[in-house]
Chains A and B, each alone.
Chain A
């Protein structure tokens, strides 16, 4: 248990500086651009929206880099893949918690500087509930982290050529589905669309349930975490 705590602490502690770099660079740019605009056209007509997008990109990068230095360092230090996986899950949870909390705080502070500002959640669901917003971005970040981690592990297991072939097959299947969609009965297409709309919180009749997408993202994250665990158990050093 102690080693498990150590590996989780290692993953989180060695990532804090990157979170700080990320926010410093991101809001450094925002500050510079806002200052220029304030002195030129003024900030009255400037809007600040969708800061979650950059957090999603940051988490995607972290997920994709998971089989790099950390995997090698921990394997070199005698940890099993089970422990390395636990460390990565801790890292994703830590980053998702940190980024969603920071993003929520920023979304609450931005109206002090800009006349119009809204988070991605507010733009999609039209509600500014802080709890729902935080849960939604937390679950979204979990999911992004696990999607990228899963595909990075898949790429590691399949090798470059295998992963390219898998990509081509997936694209080909998507194109074929799009081309032959007319052959799929409308009932099925409507049922699929309705399912995903509800899963993402659009429950029908113009109503939204902002907590449903968080649940959906969490379920997808759990499935991908399971897939990642299976993939890492057989991952070898390359």
Chain B
């Protein structure tokens, strides 16, 4: 099976359970939004997939091969993380040279081209780059590696709005030309909302939902109006959360819309991914 399969993965740090018997799959050829609050277990799971840490229980399979200590998956996966895992004393172009030797699928020409578009000085040492440019270097490497699974953990950390836009543009262009699995873990949900096809939501070390982004958003909506009217409308419905301002109330509801009576002061709005995320993590699931 062409996928990253996570099977019953558990990871504990002392008494804290970072991942609790997590099972799901990242299927081939899709863009995933891997969302969760701070400490939800996102980075822990991504580090397990990338063989940087080991699970206490369960296993991860990449295209049917165990991800743990397996050089056969070397050319299949690349994980870009916010942590700086590069030799600070090497220059950017030296890193490109070495990565080109480490991976058969690294396109050095593309890397230099992307670096140029971002204005990344390839003659600088990695350590000498600003935080934003360190992120850009890592993004450049991830985009220039032609592996079937690319993971971006907080990819736009420290990037200004122009560079973030450029990254999303390059990512989509790359995906159009070469369909592969892209996993984006980020807190900037609204920025990636238009990119992602699938949403995986993790909280407290457990998967809250794993669904298609479009169908997920179309399966919910928000209703706003006077608090009393909203409460009456919400009776018996799957309300995942509310926001109140004075006598005004917005309720976020999963399920089918009910036709409003004539003269009703209520209004419907489509659900947005960030609100859905906030409300679901507050509630603990659908």
Q: A residues bordering B, Cβ < 8 Å?
A: 3, 6-7, 9-10, 14, 69-70, 72-73, 75-83, 233-234, 236-237
Neighbour of B86 across the interface among A9, A76, A233, CB < 8 A: A76
- Asked whether B102 lies within 8 Å of A77 as measured between CB atoms, the reply is yes
- Asked whether B87 lies within 8 Å of A73 as measured between CB atoms, the reply is yes
Chain B, Cβ-Cβ closest to A68: B87
Chain B, Cβ-Cβ closest to A10: B98
Q: Top 3 closest A-B pairs, CB basis?
A: A76-B85, A237-B52, A72-B85
- Asked whether A3 lies within 8 Å of B90 as measured between CB atoms, the reply is no
- Asked whether B87 lies within 8 Å of A3 as measured between CB atoms, the reply is no
- Asked whether B70 lies within 8 Å of A234 as measured between CB atoms, the reply is no
Which residues of the partner chain B approach A78 to less than 8 Å between Cβ atoms? 50-51, 73-75, 77-78, 102-103
- Asked whether A69 lies within 8 Å of B88 as measured between CB atoms, the reply is yes
- Asked whether B102 lies within 8 Å of A79 as measured between CB atoms, the reply is yes
Q: With A234-B54, A236-B53 known to touch, is A72 a contact of B86 (CB < 8 Å)?
A: yes
> Beyond A14-B87, A14-B90, A79-B71: 18 further Cβ-contacts under 8 Å?
A69-B86, A69-B87, A69-B88, A69-B89, A72-B86, A73-B85, A75-B52, A77-B98, A78-B50, A78-B74, A78-B75, A80-B51, A80-B70, A82-B69, A82-B71, A234-B54, A237-B47, A237-B53
Chain A nearest CB from B71 CB (Å) reads 5
Interface flag for B99 (CB, 8 Å): yes
Between-chain CB contacts (< 8 Å), 24 pairs: A3-B71, A6-B101, A6-B102, A10-B98, A14-B90, A70-B87, A72-B86, A72-B87, A73-B86, A75-B52, A75-B85, A76-B79, A76-B85, A77-B98, A77-B99, A78-B50, A78-B102, A80-B71, A81-B69, A82-B69, A83-B71, A234-B54, A236-B53, A236-B54
Which residues of the partner chain A approach B53 to less than 8 Å between Cβ atoms? 236-237
Bound: A40/B186 CA distance, A = 67
Bound: A212/B101 CA distance, A = 41
- The secondary structure that dominates the A interface is helix
Neighbour of B101 across the interface among A10, A72, A81, A234, CB < 8 A: A10
Bound: A86/B76 CA distance, A = 22
Which residues of the partner chain B approach A77 to less than 8 Å between Cβ atoms? 98-99, 102-103
Bound: A195/B89 CA distance, A = 45
Chain A, Cβ-Cβ closest to B52: A237
Interface bits B126-170 vs A (CB < 8 Å: 1, else 0): 000000000000000000000000000000000000000000000
Chain A nearest CB from B185 CB (Å) reads 16
Q: B residues bordering A, Cβ < 8 Å?
A: 47, 50-54, 69-71, 73-75, 77-79, 83-90, 98-99, 101-103
Bound: A34/B87 CA distance, A = 37
- Asked whether B69 lies within 8 Å of A80 as measured between CB atoms, the reply is yes
Bound: A227/B102 CA distance, A = 27
Chain B nearest CB from A72 CB (Å) reads 4
Bound: A79/B101 CA distance, A = 12
Bound: A66/B83 CA distance, A = 18
Chain A, Cβ-Cβ closest to B68: A80
Chain B, Cβ-Cβ closest to A76: B85
Bound: A79/B71 CA distance, A = 7
Chain B nearest CB from A65 CB (Å) reads 11
Which residues of the partner chain A approach B47 to less than 8 Å between Cβ atoms? 237
Bound: A7/B98 CA distance, A = 9
Which residues of the partner chain B approach A82 to less than 8 Å between Cβ atoms? 69, 71
Chain A nearest CB from B10 CB (Å) reads 15
Which residues of the partner chain B approach A69 to less than 8 Å between Cβ atoms? 86-89
Chain B nearest CB from A135 CB (Å) reads 33
Which residues of the partner chain A approach B71 to less than 8 Å between Cβ atoms? 3, 79-80, 82-83
Chain B nearest CB from A32 CB (Å) reads 27
Chain B nearest CB from A162 CB (Å) reads 13
Bound: A72/B126 CA distance, A = 14
Which residues of the partner chain B approach A79 to less than 8 Å between Cβ atoms? 71, 74, 102
Chain A nearest CB from B95 CB (Å) reads 9
Which residues of the partner chain A approach B86 to less than 8 Å between Cβ atoms? 69, 72-73, 76
Chain A, Cβ-Cβ closest to B76: A78
Chain B, Cβ-Cβ closest to A73: B87
Chain B nearest CB from A85 CB (Å) reads 11
Bound: A138/B86 CA distance, A = 31
Bound: A222/B71 CA distance, A = 25
Bound: A76/B71 CA distance, A = 13
Which residues of the partner chain A approach B74 to less than 8 Å between Cβ atoms? 3, 78-79
Chain B nearest CB from A105 CB (Å) reads 28
Bound: A80/B73 CA distance, A = 10
Chain B, Cβ-Cβ closest to A77: B102
Chain A, Cβ-Cβ closest to B127: A69
Chain B nearest CB from A41 CB (Å) reads 41
Chain A nearest CB from B136 CB (Å) reads 16
Residue of A14, A78, A237 with most chain B CB atoms under a 10 A cut-off: A78
Residue of B71, B79, B84 with most chain A CB atoms under a 10 A cut-off: B71
